[in-house]
Amino acid sequence: MWQAVVAGAAAATFPDLDFVLGWVSELAYLRGHRGVTHSILLLPLWALLISWALARFFRRGGRPGADWRAFYLVVCSAILIHIAGDLITQFGTMILAPFSERRFGIGTTFIIDLVFTGIIVAGLVASAVWRRSRASAAVALVMLAGWVGVGWMGRMEAIEAARAYATANHIPAVLVDAAPRPASPFNWTAIVFDGERYHFAHINTRRAEPLVAGPDDGFIRRFSSHYLPVAQAQWEVRERFGRDGARLLAQTVWNAEDFAFYRWFAMFPVLDHAERGASGSVCANFVDLRFLTPGRDEVPFRYGLCGGDGAWRLFERMGDGRRWVVTD
């Protein structure tokens, strides 16, 4: 049994070994994270290799060990659960790699969910205490599925609120979506895209009154206080390519071949900053509203291009305004 537990733990960790791509370059990580190691198509192959390696490891030094076939189902299940856990977020998982780079995501759950994690920990502890029973593990899995279902309800409510706002304000909605936010399955950023502008609001779909939080309150309450009741939502508007003189530059950067990876990666891109230098150089970068979380000091993945002589340089904009040149 202990060998099966080790096999499951190792296999469940395996997909995130793609973190080593970060040692190659930042772009390699963004392009490859949640790629081939998270592929459902390659899962049988990964399970075979892991099962074979574990069987060899357990038999080293003449110790008794099971045949690789005894581990195969456990390893398959562990990898599949990892992939399913990534799919419920909105970051995107390339489950059809290497034949497709399309990122799939249900978007029901924020990337860090304390309740979801707590259910997992409680299930593991209970399983360790009552080792002879599978009931603890089964109950934990059912509770996890139920919690994802609660997030799905919150998502549908946020999308419906966005649709209602678009209808009431006569906005020709090209896209209506919602991004999960921390602290509650009912905290969302509702998003409406009319083809040129993103209309968005940070809402809590079940709240009747605003949640007031002071500096001495816990971080969960402080994070959650940014999300207003739907009836009191404060809708913001961001032009995808900005306004006036920045618009042409933003469109040029967005359509540049050197910016193809960000067009593939971003879901709700808007111009973040544009500037023209005295030497004739120009810079513009975008931000993805998917990662715009109220209460968070910095927004990640703010990428853009700088140039002036036809040659572009890819950069990431830091929170203090510095530009970090990205190498492929």
Please check whether residue 29 lies inside any domain of the structure.
yes
Residue 56 lies in a domain: yes
User: What does the pLDDT read at residue 62?
Assistant: 54
Out of 209, 239, 269, pick the residue that ends a domain. Answer: 239
Residue 63, pLDDT score? 57
Task: Give yes or no: residues 159 and 174 share one domain.
Answer: yes
Rounded to the nearest 5°, which phi and psi values hold at 320?
-90, 5
Are 215 and 266 part of one and the same domain?
no
Residue 201's pLDDT is: 98
The number of domains in the chain is: 3
In terms of Cα–Cα distance, which of 277, 263, 271 is closest to 237? 271
In Å, what is the CA distance from 256 to each residue of 111, 205, 208, 279, 310?
30, 39, 46, 21, 10
Whether 129 is covered by a domain: the verdict is no
Burial zone of 310 (CB within 10 Å; 0-12 exposed, 13-18 middle, 19+ buried): exposed
300 located within any domain: yes
Task: Give a yes or no: residue 74 inside a domain.
Answer: yes
Q: Are 185 and 227 in contact (CB under 8 A)?
A: no
Q: Is residue 133 part of a domain?
A: no
Of 166, 148, 159, 60, the residue nearest 109 (C-alpha): 148
Whether residues 9 and 95 share a domain: the answer is yes
User: b vs e for 44-72, b when ≥16 Cβ sit within 10 Å of the residue's Cβ?
Assistant: eebbbebbbebbeebeeeeeebeebebbb
Q: What is the pLDDT of residue 27?
A: 85
Which H helix or E strand runs over 43?
helix 43-58
**DSSP for 115-169, written as a single string:** HHHHHHHHHHHHHHHSTT-SHHHHHHHHHHHHHHHHHHHHHHHHHHHHHHHHHHT
Q: Which of 239, 257, 283 is the last residue of a domain?
A: 239
For residue 228, give the DSSP letter.
E
Q: Indicate if the alpha-carbon torsion angle 191, 193, 198, 199 is positive or negative.
A: negative
- The reply to whether 174 and 220 lie within a common domain is yes
Q: Is 114 a member of any domain?
A: no
Distance of alpha carbon 169 from alpha carbon 201, whole angstroms:
14
Cα separation of 29 and 22, whole Å? Answer: 5
Same structural domain, 222 and 166: yes
Q: Are 18 and 82 in contact (CB under 8 A)?
A: no
198's tokens? 């993103």
Domain match, 8 and 95 both? yes
Q: Are 185 and 154 in contact (CB under 8 A)?
A: yes
Task: Say yes or no: 218 and 262 in one domain.
Answer: no
Pair (95, 34) in one structural domain: yes
Specify whether 172 is located in the same domain as 260: no
pLDDT in tens, the chain (328 residues): 788 888 999 999 999 999 999 888 888 888 999 999 999 999 999 999 999 999 888 876 555 556 888 899 999 999 999 999 999 999 999 999 999 999 999 999 999 999 999 999 999 999 989 988 999 999 999 999 999 999 999 999 999 999 999 999 999 999 999 999 999 999 999 999 999 999 999 999 999 999 998 888 888 898 899 999 999 999 999 999 998 778 999 999 999 999 999 999 999 999 999 988 767 789 999 999 999 999 887 888 999 999 866 689 999 998 777 888 877 6
Say whether both 211 and 286 belong to one domain: no
pTM of this structure: 0.90
The one-character DSSP state at 93 is B
Measured distance CA(314)–CA(263) in Å, rounded: 13
257 and 177 housed in the same domain: no
Selection from 260, 268, 314, 262 nearest residue 290 by Cα: 268
Q: By residue range, what is the domain housing residue 266?
A: 245-325
In a domain? residue 308: yes
Between CA 199 and CA 197 the distance in angstroms is: 6
Closest CA to 271 of 228, 238, 305: 238
> Measured in whole angstroms, how far is the alpha carbon of residue 20 from the centre of its chain?
19
Claim to verify: residue 164 and residue 224 sit in the same structural domain: yes
